[in-house]
Structure 1
Amino acid sequence: MVERVIIDTDPGVDDLAAIYLALASPELQVEALTTVYGNIEVETSTRNTLSLLELAGRTDIPVYRGAGKPILRQPYFAKHIHGNNGFGGVEAPNPTVSEAKGYAAMEIVRRCNEAPNEITIIALGPVTNVALALSIDPGLAHKVKKIIVMGGAVRVAGNISPVASFNLASDPEAARVMYESGAPIVQVGLDVCTKVRISQENLDRIRVSGTRPGAFLLEATEFRRKAYIVSLQTPETETGVYYNDVPAVAYALWPELFEVQQAFVSIETTGELTAGQTIAEFTGQWGNPEPNTSILMGVDGERVAKRFADCISTLEAQ
């Protein structure tokens, strides 16, 4: 059965990898891409989304521009990981099509209302667009099939602070709106993202395939790989790469490769040092509230990495 998805994204090298995994997988029908600030400004994010579709020969998929800033806060970006243009300084082709008319949040509302309980949202960046859509139409929480969100850190350290992940800390208020909306949420956080390493062997398999999208991904990846070596303070140079967004799409494709735990999750919004932290209730200290989130806590990382390489190696412009 084909899964209908809307991907909310801020490309970003790891978004590029995840979107190409989705496009290479016939099990997923990508109905639209919506853009958001995050790794880079929303203007660049939107152009990058159009460009990556151009490279893959999928300009039939509409792209809707979304939020350019968090609901209450000022944006900050991850250019030290993704480069000033989001693709590690690698120049993408100029898109031949323009973004679609309309706003991302409104398009999410429209499509989910037209096909209730049929569309999954895969949120790869800050969740501002998703929260806005849930605020425009609170009933959307019961019309979306599920929301797969790349973000959170439960048993591991964060990547923007000791306790918070970049995507959720970018707009904690939006994240809290989403988690407490009643929508079915799957959290694909750093608990599993840090366990899916795309080894040099798998990167080489993509290189040997010779596809244009794969070659572009590998070229853009080099900046990210070097940035991670610096940020993790490791002298290793052949460690492969972590595309944090890939496990979110991988879960939509192969949920059997993941270990899931149910919990009630909320997001810290007022802590001076902890804004964006995912608070997961496992202990019963809050009186055992009804779980609102399926948290991915384990993954067969090697199988995900191999399947990722297999898929990307087949992706060629039509």
Structure 2
Amino acid sequence: MTESGAPVRLLVDNDTGIDDALALVYLLSLSHVDVEVLTSTPGNVAVEQVARNNLALLELCGRTGVEVAVGATAPLEIPLTTTPETHGPQGIGYAELPAPEGAVSPHHAVDLWVEAARQHPGELTALLTAPLTNFALALRKEPRLPKLLKRVVIMGGSYYYQGNTTPTAEWNTHVDPHAAAEVFAAFEGEPEDRLPIVCALEMTERIELRPEHVAELGRLAGSAEAELVLPEDPEGRRSTAANPLLRCLSDALRFYFEFHRHYDQGYLAHVHDVFAAAIAAGAVDYRTRPATVHVETGSGLLVGTTVADYRGLWGRKPNARIVSWNDPEATFREVLGSIGALARRLDSAGG
């Protein structure tokens, strides 16, 4: 179902990340969405770099009033693993963002989330596109969060589907499986409409962004550039698009395309977090199935594996609503159209 156009107030936690960056830009392009707090979790890159990326992207999009905070600096119980081979050493591929002028909040991410949820019960949607470390810590501090939040949307896990980090585990869950296990345990027994909406790999890998999508974005933004995403280029050339936002996204996505091609998936990019953001914004159709999720934390080879009991075989109550259907074409129409409109507005404001 969708609630397109209805006001949405978001608490966003990410680990920016190329697809996190595209998801954030999309959210900032929506007039009906208010990102109230943007918190940073270590994952794709270290948390300090995540926060710098978030600040720089906010400024690039003309949105400087959003508080950016740092939470945990490492997973709950295991060492941090980052992915420079997937997202580049700074997390944004080949893109080069100016050093942000704004500063990171002096407040801890967990404190901001808990305070916001207590002050605005039933009004805030939590969007989590990173390992669930910060959210697990917030639940420890305020166990009533499942009741205080309006909705929770999680990108993570894979259910009876090949993992993208190990044969059975998805990246976000693999980075901090203990946090993911705590989060799902906190929701067990809640009414179905309060269970987190889980966007797992079997749905997010259907959101395959290709070079023609970037070309379409350029067209929608009014760019004169015929080719924004170059093929693999040993000379390291960057996009020459006049629009800074398009230039940033094009250079980031080319790195992501090359990564996917290196692993024999084609010259494309699975923009996982974009789909989760569109659900949080109430802008796309989807269907879900209630399930009881278990996260494996003990077995070395299977750590981070997520298993869904859809049939109640464990005799436990559901703790998640796992997305079972989406519409990739409609998702790209929504996302590209909105980001293209933002790029046009930024050009007009700059001119």
* TM bucket normalised to smaller: over 0.9
The match for 1:3 among 8, 15, 30 is 8
| Residues 284, 331 of structure 2: 8 Å contact kept | no
Partner of 1:167: 172
The match for 2:252 among 220, 226, 235 is 220
Distance of 2:286 and 2:246 partners within structure 1: 25
Distance of 1:313 and 1:281 partners within structure 2: 40
The match for 1:185 among 196, 218, 223 is 196
The one-letter code matched in structure 1 to 2:176 is: D
Give the number of the structure whose alpha-carbon radius of gyration is greater: 2
Partner of 1:71: 76
Per the normalisation by structure 2, the TM-score is 0.86
How far is the alpha carbon of 1:241 from its aligned partner?
2.3
The answer as to 2:217 corresponding to 1:206 is: yes
CA 1:173–1:23 in structure 2 vs 1: closer, same or farther (change >3 Å)?
same
Distance of 1:144 and 1:215 partners within structure 2: 36
- Residues 19-60 of structure 1 show CA distances to partners (whole Å, capped at 9, x for unaligned) of 011111123211110001100001111111111111111111
How far is the alpha carbon of 1:78 from its aligned partner?
1.1
Partner of 2:306: 278
Distance of 1:241 and 1:165 partners within structure 2: 16
Per the normalisation by structure 1, the TM-score is 0.94
CA 1:259–1:278 in structure 2 vs 1: closer, same or farther (change >3 Å)?
same
The answer as to 2:148 corresponding to 1:121 is: no
- Residues 232-280 of structure 1 show CA distances to partners (whole Å, capped at 9, x for unaligned) of x25x44xx32211101011123465212111111211112211111121
1:238-249 to structure 2, matched below 5 A, reads: 240-249=268-277
| Residues 265, 293 of structure 1: 8 Å contact kept | yes
Distance of 1:60 and 1:277 partners within structure 2: 38
1:135-150 to structure 2, matched below 5 A, reads: 135-150=140-155
| Residues 18, 249 of structure 1: 8 Å contact kept | yes
The match for 1:305 among 332, 337, 341 is 332
1:251-290 to structure 2, matched below 5 A, reads: 251-254=279-282, 257-287=285-315, 289-290=316-317
What residue ranges of structure 2 are gaps of 5+ in the alignment?
A: 1-5, 188-193, 224-242
Detail structure 1 runs of 4+ shifted over 6 Å in the superposition. Answer: none
CA RMSD, aligned part only? 1.5
- Residues 166-195 of structure 1 show CA distances to partners (whole Å, capped at 9, x for unaligned) of 001111111011111126211011011111
Distance of 1:109 and 1:252 partners within structure 2: 19
What residue ranges of structure 1 are gaps of 5+ in the alignment?
A: none
Distance of 1:89 and 1:127 partners within structure 2: 27
How far is the alpha carbon of 1:141 from its aligned partner?
2.3
Partner of 1:51: 56
| Residue identity (%) | 29
Distance of 1:296 and 1:155 partners within structure 2: 13
Distance of 2:112 and 2:156 partners within structure 1: 23
Q: How many residues align?
A: 313
| Residues 94, 251 of structure 2: 8 Å contact kept | no
How far is the alpha carbon of 1:109 from its aligned partner?
0.5
Partner of 2:90: 85
Distance of 2:68 and 2:318 partners within structure 1: 33
